């Protein structure tokens, strides 16, 4: 079986113990990946600090050229990287290709933004002074990423961090390290100086603590569950380490009776089933206005039944496996709980096949507010649907959660669209749009879905310090 090295200070290191990577479509191991201990992570931070001294001095334009070179490498290898991503994550091959295209677009966006780390000059209010506001890179960044979008979420951190003049150490999820290693290969081929970008793997809590406690690591950026986010916040308190946190979601979808039914069905379907329902912005709760409730249930269920489930490498598959047995067990428990509380299962509800971690696309109607699938992220192609009467009721239900990453609404009423945009408590709101993310706009959560924003021009700010330089002048 293939043994994968880690990318440390410009070298490839094979180091045991190895961690197995499992193909979720078969449950079989496909690779072994090296791991390192905390002391070696500390060495990586020291090397990144050394590399920072010269990387920060490059112009934004020069750093942007490196990002473009990484993007070119990824594009040239996209067929092979897409296959790797599908093998380790399970997502349908077409969606792996989309993720790669998205990552390439992020790199292009931040290559451009690298030239625009603007400060400003503030007019003085006393004679003999001038005030400059300048933006400086922070230093070494520790990045921790999840398995559900193994390439794009790493690039979403690495591209702006590098563009801003920082160096970065990436700790990918143990389920999907191969996409991160492919990214490191592209970084190496693009000729970035040693130590500017590194990949580590090992005991996740230990690596997290090293990032938080090592004084040379100046920022920690994390995407993952709210639960782990809370652990990092507690750890960061000791060293007052700046954190960016992209955490869990519980996205509502509101469907009003003025919308064209097909448009609502297709939008909700995209928001629910992309990445096999394992997206932080996946539709988790669908609320439909009473006059179209039964029609929506019928049309949506027909579409869910039409989805092809299978190994992501097979042609035309829409729904791949869930990431692991724990993900499958959780989704089945959510279905069982909803049905026990009175929900109607309109399709699916069971495990699919006898190998890997597949689940049938599932529609649950009349799901009560206290069901687990309404309260927590289900992270599966399980649609929890219920009815509402008024706009006020729909907004109250949508906001009745500790999370606030994304929300969706389908309506043909422009006034209502603006009311929803202003009252829904979420960092990203898709109105008549089931796929709202883009490189050019900020992404992040409110409430317990996180701190800070990625992408857009805000994505660079997350990796820049703002300094005020006050000049005393005799002029
Ligand atoms: P997770 O929190 O279990 O793991 C995420 C990463 O944190 C992994 O690399 C893991 O190894 C690491 N980790 C685990 N324990 C740690 C610790 N104590 N200290 C430091 N690192 C630790 O999440 P997951 O299951 O991989 O991903 C799914 C979650 O991520 C969902 O909640 C999803 O909503 C969220 N997510 C959020 C976004 C976003 O942009 N807001 C995007 C994708 C996923």
* Per-residue pLDDT, 274: 97
Whose Cα sits closest to atom 39 in ligand 1?
A: 246
pLDDT in tens, 187-196: 999 999 999 9
* Per-residue pLDDT, 389: 98
* Average pLDDT in the chain: 98
Res 453 pLDDT > 90: yes
Res 475 pLDDT > 90: no
Whose Cα sits closest to atom 30 in ligand 1?
A: 224
Residue 26, CA atoms < 13 Å, CB-side half-sphere = 11
354: pLDDT confidence band, cut at 50, 70 and 90?
very high
What amino acid positions are annotated as catalytic residues?
246, 280
Pocket test for ligand 1, best of 19, 35, 91, 146 (most atoms within 8 A of CB): 146
* 465, β-bridge pairs: 136
Q: What is the mean pLDDT of residues 119-148?
A: 98
Q: Alpha helices of 282-413 — where are they, by DSSP H?
A: 293-306, 325-340, 372-375, 391-399
Res 443 pLDDT > 90: yes
Q: What is the mean pLDDT of residues 426-448?
A: 97
Asked whether 448 lines ligand 1 (CB < 6 A), one says: no
Looking at the whole model, is its pTM more than 0.85? yes
| Portion of the chain with pLDDT greater than 70, in percent | 100
Burial of 34 (C-beta count, 10 Å sphere; 0-12/13-18/19+): buried
Tokens matching residue 275: 């990445």
Burial of 353 (C-beta count, 10 Å sphere; 0-12/13-18/19+): middle
Whose Cα sits closest to atom 14 in ligand 1?
A: 204
Per DSSP, 281 falls in state T
204: pLDDT confidence band, cut at 50, 70 and 90?
very high
* Per-residue pLDDT, 153: 98
* Per-residue pLDDT, 363: 98
* Per-residue pLDDT, 18: 98
Determine the angle formed by the axes of helices 60-76 and 93-113, rounding to 10 degrees: 170
Neighbours of 304 (CB within 10 A): 24
Please report the atom of ligand 1 found closest to the CA of residue 450.
Answer: 41
Q: Please state, in angstroms and rounded to a whole number, the distance separating the CA atoms of residues 72 and 58.
A: 20
Determine the angle formed by the axes of helices 93-113 and 78-89, rounding to 10 degrees: 120
Q: Please state, in angstroms and rounded to a whole number, the distance separating the CA atoms of residues 382 and 332.
A: 9
Identical fold between 3-247+448-470 and 251-439: no
Asked whether 406 lines ligand 1 (CB < 6 A), one says: no
144: closest CA among 106, 114, 180? Answer: 180
Domain 3-247+448-470 carries which CATH code? Answer: 3.40.605.10
Q: Please state, in angstroms and rounded to a whole number, the distance separating the CA atoms of residues 439 and 458.
A: 11
Asked whether 451 lines ligand 1 (CB < 6 A), one says: no
> Is there a contact between 435 and 274 (Cβ–Cβ < 8 Å)?
yes
Res 63 pLDDT > 90: yes
Tokens matching residue 254: 């509101």
Asked whether 204 lines ligand 1 (CB < 6 A), one says: yes
Pocket test for ligand 1, best of 171, 205, 224 (most atoms within 8 A of CB): 224
Please report the atom of ligand 1 found closest to the CA of residue 229.
Answer: 2
Whose Cα sits closest to atom 41 in ligand 1?
A: 246
* Per-residue pLDDT, 401: 98
Q: What is the mean pLDDT of residues 77-86?
A: 98
* Per-residue pLDDT, 307: 98
pLDDT in tens, 268-289: 999 999 999 999 999 999 999 9
* Per-residue pLDDT, 106: 98
* Per-residue pLDDT, 26: 98
The CATH H-level superfamily of 251-439 is Aldehyde Dehydrogenase; Chain A, domain 2 (3.40.309.10)
Interval between CA 228 and ligand 1 midpoint (Å): 7
Domain boundaries, the chain: 3-247+448-470, 251-439
Res 67 pLDDT > 90: yes
Pocket test for ligand 1, best of 228, 323, 437, 444 (most atoms within 8 A of CB): 228
Asked whether 150 lines ligand 1 (CB < 6 A), one says: no
């Amino acid at each position: 079986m293939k043994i994968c090295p880690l990318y440390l200070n410009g070298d490839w290191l094979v180091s045991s113990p190895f961690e197995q990577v499992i193909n979720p479509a078969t449950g079989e191991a496909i690779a072994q990946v090296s791991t390192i201990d905390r002391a070696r992570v500390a060495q990586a931070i020291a090397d990144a600090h050394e590399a920072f001294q010269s990387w920060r001095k490059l112009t934004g334009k020069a750093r942007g050229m490196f990002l473009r070179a990484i993007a070119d490498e990824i594009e040239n290898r996209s067929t092979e990287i897409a296959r790797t991503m599908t093998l380790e994550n399970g997502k349908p091959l077409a969606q792996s290709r989309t993720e790669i295209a998205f990552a390439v677009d992020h790199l292009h966006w931040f290559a451009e933004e690298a030239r625009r780390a603007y400060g400003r000059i503030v007019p003085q209010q006393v004679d003999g002074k001038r005030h400059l506001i300048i933006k400086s890179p922070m230093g070494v960044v520790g990045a921790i990423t999840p398995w559900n979008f193994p390439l794009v979420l790493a690039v979403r951190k690495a591209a702006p961090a590098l563009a801003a003049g920082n160096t970065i150490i990436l700790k990918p999820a143990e389920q999907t390290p191969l996409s991160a290693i492919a990214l490191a290969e592209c970084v190496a081929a693009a000729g970035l100086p040693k130590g500017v970008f590194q990949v580590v793997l090992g005991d996740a809590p230990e690596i997290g603590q090293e990032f938080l406690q090592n004084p040379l690591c100046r920022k920690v950026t994390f995407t993952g569950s709210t639960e782990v986010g809370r652990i990092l916040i507690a750890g960061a308190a000791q060293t007052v380490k700046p954190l960016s946190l992209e955490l869990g979601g519980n996205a509502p979808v509101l469907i009003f009776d003025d919308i064209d039914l097909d448009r609502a069905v297709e939008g909700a379907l995209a928001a629910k089933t992309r990445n096999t329902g394992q997206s932080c912005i996946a539709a988790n709760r669908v609320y439909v206005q009473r006059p179209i409730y039964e029609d929506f249930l019928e049309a949506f269920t027909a579409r869910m039944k039409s989805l092809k489930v299978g190994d992501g490498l097979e042609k035309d598959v829409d729904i791949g496996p869930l990431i692991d047995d724990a993900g499958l067990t959780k989704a089945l428990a959510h279905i069982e709980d909803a049905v026990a509380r009175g929900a109607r299962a309109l399709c699916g509800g069971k495990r699919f096949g006898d190998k890997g971690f597949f689940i049938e696309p599932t529609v649950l109607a009349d799901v009560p507010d206290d069901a687990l699938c309404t309260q927590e992220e289900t992270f599966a192609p399980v649609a929890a649907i219920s009815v509402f009467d008024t706009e006020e009721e729909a907004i109250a239900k949508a906001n009745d959660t500790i999370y606030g990453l994304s929300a969706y609404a389908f309506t043909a009423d422009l006034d209502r669209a603006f009311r929803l945009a202003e009252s829904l408590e979420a960092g990203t709101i898709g109105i008549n749009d089931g796929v709202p993310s883009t490189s050019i706009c900020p992404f992040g959560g409110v409430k317990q879905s996180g701190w800070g924003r990625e992408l857009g021009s805000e994505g660079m700010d997350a990796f820049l310090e703002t300094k005020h330089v006050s000049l005393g002048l005799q002029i």
